[in-house]
Amino acid sequence: MKESDELTDVVALGWTFSPPDYFEAPIHIIQTGYEMTIDAGKVEARINPGVYDQEHRMRGDLHQALIGRFLGVQLLCHRPYKLSNASMSRLHSDGRKDVTLFVESGVMTISGGSVDFIVKDKEGNVVSDSRKDRIEQKKVLSELAGKFHGVNALATLLLNSYQAAVIDPGNELVHLYEIRDALSKYFGGESAAIAALGFSAGRWSQLKKLANDAHLKQGRHRGISLGELRDATGAELNEARAISRDLVEGYLRYLDKDA
């Protein structure tokens, strides 16, 4: 929407989310018929009423795409989030405002954080800025996930499995293995999946090894262990998360290339 459109009728959809720094930087999306801004715990989509009234599924489609963006970022930060359902306001050129509220979505526990660093050369030039790099990664993954979540069945399943790993840490490796398993079935076998995604065979096998370790409490085969179970170490979990994240990203890029 242009600034000159401010005095004309507009449909505004609004969401709230937490933590408010989930994206770390504002995101502005411009599409035919609407604009969306994501920033500081709030999302607003401003839509041409003619477009909104003709597209009866638009609110639901935008909500699914927005969830996809959060799930894309979650691949990087491994943190739960809370996203409300949309409220709707119809702003009229004469100053009237009609507001519609929808049922609130569920709540997820928030935890975790990150430590940033900046690397400079001997002249003081910035060589690496971890926060800047992470924000860019979040932007790219959120766009990819938002594009295919709710549209492609396998992409939706993979993103939901990763989310399950975040909110159900007691079974984290079970959920992460679902990603590997689903890709293998979709492509018709492990070798075919590795080839289609251009993935490392070693990392593919490592996720299987971690998830199937009978001695890990978070693993798939803990019930057959005759000895004492142990929690997976932070290094083991981080490795499994990184492999799973790269598998999901690999499939999203595979879809994007074909699209």
Phi, psi of 119 (to 5 degrees): -105, 130
* Strands in the chain per DSSP E: 10-18, 27-31, 34-39, 42-47, 82-83, 87-91, 97-100, 118-120, 126-129
> What is residue 214's predicted lDDT score, i.e. its pLDDT?
65
Domain extent listing, the chain: 3-100, 152-258
Range in 15-29, 133-147, 150-164 with the lowest mean pLDDT: 133-147
pLDDT of residue 109: 32
How crowded is residue 138: how many other Cβ atoms within 10 Å of its Cβ? 22
pLDDT confidence of 97, banded at 50, 70, 90?
low
Mean pLDDT estimate for the chain: 83
Whether 23 has a pLDDT exceeding 60, the answer reads yes
Q: What percent of the chain has pLDDT over 90?
A: 51
Q: Average pLDDT in the 110-118 region?
A: 46
**Average pLDDT of span 229-236:** 86
N-to-C CA span, the chain: 27
Q: What is the mean pLDDT of residues 161-181?
A: 94
In contact, 126 and 137? CB cutoff 8 Å: no
Number of other CB atoms surrounding residue 15 within 10 Å? 20
169/234 Cα distance (integer angstroms):
12
Q: Read off the tokens for 58.
A: 């638009």
